[in-house]
Amino acid sequence: MRFGRKGKLSPRYLGPYKILQHVGEVAYELALLADLAYIHSVFHVSMLKKCLGDQSSSLPVEGLGLIDLSYKEAPVEILDKQVKRLRNKEVATVKVLWRNYLFEGATWESEADMRSRYHDFFSS
């Protein structure tokens, strides 16, 4: 996840947030705002900074313009097919070229798994 600005000008910390509970040996659960509901609320201590009450060093979340950088992988093309023979069964595999990857990023996947996940891709 990135915030509105990049590089040297990007904010290093958001907050302050209230600690709800101590989780495990080195983690804390924070009370995040509703705008940050999609972020997991448990953080390792190395990601936290002690707040000394100086409100001038913290930034409000509203002005940052959070950007969701998630994307969905989708197959582009089936490059090759092969049947792997195991001891007492055969498994059909396909070499799949994925969107946003180069030819070298193609992977071998189970044909049955690919048909179940991307049935629209195999229907054409």
Domain ranges of the chain: 7-57, 75-123
Write down the pLDDT at residue 35: 80
Each residue's pLDDT tens digit, 22-69:
998 999 999 988 888 888 889 999 888 887 766 666 666 666 666 776
Backbone angles phi, psi at 92, to 5 degrees: -85, 130
Query: How sure is the predictor about 1, in pLDDT bands with cuts at 50, 70 and 90?
Result: very low
Each residue's pLDDT tens digit, 68-86:
767 778 898 899 999 989 8
Each residue's pLDDT tens digit, 86-110:
889 999 999 999 888 888 889 999 9
User: Does pTM top 0.75 for this prediction?
Assistant: no
Write down the pLDDT at residue 10: 66
Burial classification of residue 58, based on how many CB atoms lie within 10 Å of its CB (0-12 exposed, 13-18 middle, 19 or more buried): middle
Q: What fold is seen in the domain 75-123?
A: OB fold (Dihydrolipoamide Acetyltransferase, E2P) (2.40.50)
Write down the pLDDT at residue 3: 47
Instruction: Locate 12 and state its tokens.
Output: 């290093």
Contact 114, 122 (CB under 8 A): yes
- CA–CA gap between residue 76 and residue 54 (Å, rounded): 52
Whether 4 shows a pLDDT value over 70: the answer reads no
